[in-house]
Amino acid sequence: MKNQSAGAAEGKSVPRRDHAMFDAELSAKALNVQLLRRLLQWIRPYRLTVLVSSVLILIASALQVMLPVVTSIVIIDHLFIGNTDHATPDMGMVDATDWIIATTGFPPLIAACVLYAVLHVAWAVTSHLHRLTLISAVIKGLRDLRLDLFRHLETRPSSFYDRVAVGRIMTRVTNDIEALYELLRGIGTLIGEFVPFFVALVIMLAVDVELTIILLIALPIMGGATMYFRRVTGQLFRLVRQSVSTLNQNLQENLAGLQVVQLSDRQDRNLAQYTRINEGNRSLEIRSMNIETLYGAFTDSMASIALGVIIWYAGGSMVQDQISLGGIILFTRFIDMLFHPVVVLGEQTNILFRAMASGERIFQALDWDERIHEPDQPAALPPRLHGSVEFKHLDFAYTPDIPVLRDVSFTINPGEKLAIVGPTGSGKSTLIRLLGRFYDFDDGQIFLDGIDLNRIHTHDLRSRIGVVLQDFHIFSGTIYENIALGNSSIDRDRAIAAARTVNAHEFISRLPSGYDTVLSERGQNLSQGQRQLLAFARVLAADPEILILDEATASIDTETELLIQDALRKLTHGRTSILIAHRLQTIQEADRVLVLHHGRVKELGTHEELIALRGLYYTLHTLQFQDVSDEELDSLA
């Protein structure tokens, strides 16, 4: 019966994957250059913008540094003291002032004011444009990355979604990309801090090497303090985050289960428990705040101490006429430009490392190439299928050694209605999933109108098969859009006709905007029964040749139940239908019933034939087709 060679020869077998890897916590410890380089691929389309931005930051930094030069060298040395022949470099600012005086005839102070104003406005404009261009490139790049990631996820197969948590995947599309944004913005901020830093450094070295070196000594001290602070608070912040989330979880759970809390008279005990968590959180918050306060006060003090150092140094060196008064004052104005980048660097490192981990997670998802195998040359399907389905010696296992389907063979005739029954875990859902080619299989065959399913492209196949699953997914949009699903051949009349046939028209007309009522994705504004009817309307409007239905098990009140049963009869009329049935009514109305047990076809025939057989079907019937497991059935049968 086994037919492994065919599959192996074609290389269809998917390699075993460790899905736990996908959910595992990734944490990058170091700067990952390769990752950065890869990330930059998404920025590449916008490289011209980035180039413009880089030129702008250079101009802006030069302008920013010129402003203190004007107030100290030009005004103090040149205008106040009249010290023009001094060696202190002025970057041409003195000449610029003289030029303004010469061309406009303004008094010198007014000319300096004009120069200062022009430089300031030019700085404001260029730095603003620099930020805008940089941010625009980053936002566009990450927008593209997010869309690529989404497209990739959208086409991953069921075998992937069976094993990874949706919540975890979601955080990759949202939080992880946010972290990358923080990363790129952080790099932008550092550029905005360090370019002026180096420009200022060049001028300071030109003015006085000795004083520059003395001031630079402060940098390792600040850097060390910053690193120490970040290390201590890094751990503390993690604890704070944990305690905040515990605190919130406790409250949330208490609210969600409030009825149980009250019925169990647990209010006092729960309040005491919450108080303990709240106290723990408070003391952690206070501890981390205290450290932060001390660090902030320390970095503030460093800037003021530097002022003292400059004055003290000037007292000695000016005697020897090494530096002008304007030069000294210029140094006092550069202190912030010198120290601030270190503080910012400290702020950004944590973000950087967190973003590295996020980047790894995103690329791991993008690199996850699990997919459904598609035929190289897909078979062309006729415009209308007859609708015959044949399963031939089909074996299937999700994980090796745990077979789910064993040697399943049966045929469904065009237009026939087949109910599949069996205990939980007998393989019913797997059977219909394979028919929809949600999983690759290579052991056995399925034929659709005589065509091997593995030779049909999944898109072609799925547009011929209507599937109604237990969790009816509502697409956000109007009711009409939910019925038509972007198929232009389904106009309003056809949608309404479909809804009318499956008893959905009545409730839809009663909605505030009828067919234009906007639904949220989970369809919270519809009842379970209404959602099922809407799902029926959607399938009927698409008019597929084959219908697959996984009947909902949840108990619905008898009236809605009757509406659904009626709709189902109309939906399946004259259409090849495979129904995983839980309701007696559905089963009795099927042409034939197939009983699955432990992945094997045990019984196949009409309701009456199987009842007369007094076998598994008979037992299930007496249990009213409730959910029983394979094992439970074994113990009864």
**Per-residue H/E/C for 96-141:** HHHHHHHHHCCCHHHHHHHHHHHHHHHHHHHHHHHHHHHHHHHHHH
* 195-234 binders of other proteins (CB under 8 A): none
* 543-582 binders of other proteins (CB under 8 A): 554-555, 557-559, 561-563, 565-567
Nearest-approach distance from CB 398 to other proteins, in angstroms: 15
* 43-82 binders of other proteins (CB under 8 A): 71, 75-76, 79-81
Nearest-approach distance from CB 29 to other proteins, in angstroms: 26
Residues 182 and 174: their CA atoms lie apart, in Å, by 12
Contact stretch for other proteins (CB under 8 A) within 15-23, 321-329, 387-395, 598-606: 321-329
Angle at which helix 47-69 crosses helix 325-367, to 10 degrees, equals 160
Contact stretch for other proteins (CB under 8 A) within 28-36, 286-294, 339-347, 597-605: 286-294
Burial status of residue 320 (CB atoms within 10 A of its CB: 0-12, 13-18, 19 or more): exposed
Q: 171 or 445: whose CB is closer to other proteins?
A: 171
- State yes or no: residue 322 binds other proteins (CB under 8 A): no
Q: 9 or 166: whose CB is closer to other proteins?
A: 166
Nearest-approach distance from CB 588 to other proteins, in angstroms: 6
Site size with other proteins, rule: CB under 8 A: 144
Cβ count within 10 A of residue 112: 23
First to last CA, the chain: 28
Q: Among 161, 312, 294, 169, which Cα is nearest to 233's?
A: 294
* 407-436 binders of other proteins (CB under 8 A): 436
Contact stretch for other proteins (CB under 8 A) within 1-9, 38-46, 306-314, 361-369: 306-314
Question: Quick check: 104 and 111 in contact, CB under 8 A?
Answer: yes
Angle made by CA atoms 208, 212, 218, in degrees to the nearest 5: 160
Q: Among 208, 469, 169, 151, which Cα is nearest to 330's?
A: 208
Residues 238 and 211: their CA atoms lie apart, in Å, by 41
Q: Which of 9, 217, 263, 402 binds other proteins (CB under 8 A)?
A: 263
- State yes or no: residue 102 binds other proteins (CB under 8 A): no
Q: Which of 7, 89, 223, 257 binds other proteins (CB under 8 A)?
A: 257
* 585-614 binders of other proteins (CB under 8 A): 585, 588
The residue assigned the tokens 């076998």 is 615
Per the document, the length of the chain is: 637
Residue 75, token pair as written in the block: 């005004």
Nearest-approach distance from CB 310 to other proteins, in angstroms: 9
Q: Which of 312, 374, 452, 606 binds other proteins (CB under 8 A)?
A: 312
Q: 309 or 511: whose CB is closer to other proteins?
A: 309
- State yes or no: residue 105 binds other proteins (CB under 8 A): no
What is residue 85's three-state secondary structure? coil
Contact stretch for other proteins (CB under 8 A) within 20-28, 382-390, 465-473, 574-582: 465-473
The H or E element containing residue 83 is none
Q: Which of 146, 417, 582, 592 binds other proteins (CB under 8 A)?
A: 146
Residue 549, CB-side half-sphere exposure with 13 Å CA sphere:
33
Contact stretch for other proteins (CB under 8 A) within 230-238, 414-422, 490-498, 620-628: 620-628
Q: 312 or 398: whose CB is closer to other proteins?
A: 312
Nearest-approach distance from CB 190 to other proteins, in angstroms: 16
Kind of pairing between the strands at 592-597 and 600-605: antiparallel
* 163-182 binders of other proteins (CB under 8 A): 166-167, 169-170, 173-174, 178, 181
Nearest-approach distance from CB 432 to other proteins, in angstroms: 10
The 499-538 contact track toward other proteins, x by CB under 8 A, reads -x--x-xx--------------xx---------------x
Backbone angles phi, psi at 477, to 5 degrees: 150, -170
Distances (CA, A) of 527 to 328, 472, 520, 534, 551: 77, 11, 13, 10, 16
Q: 242 or 262: whose CB is closer to other proteins?
A: 262
Contact stretch for other proteins (CB under 8 A) within 96-104, 143-151, 221-229, 386-394: 143-151
The residue assigned the tokens 């566009």 is 140
The H or E element containing residue 298 is helix 267-317
Q: Which of 26, 247, 379, 397 binds other proteins (CB under 8 A)?
A: 247
Q: Among 423, 425, 419, 428, which Cα is nearest to 628's?
A: 423
* 355-394 binders of other proteins (CB under 8 A): none
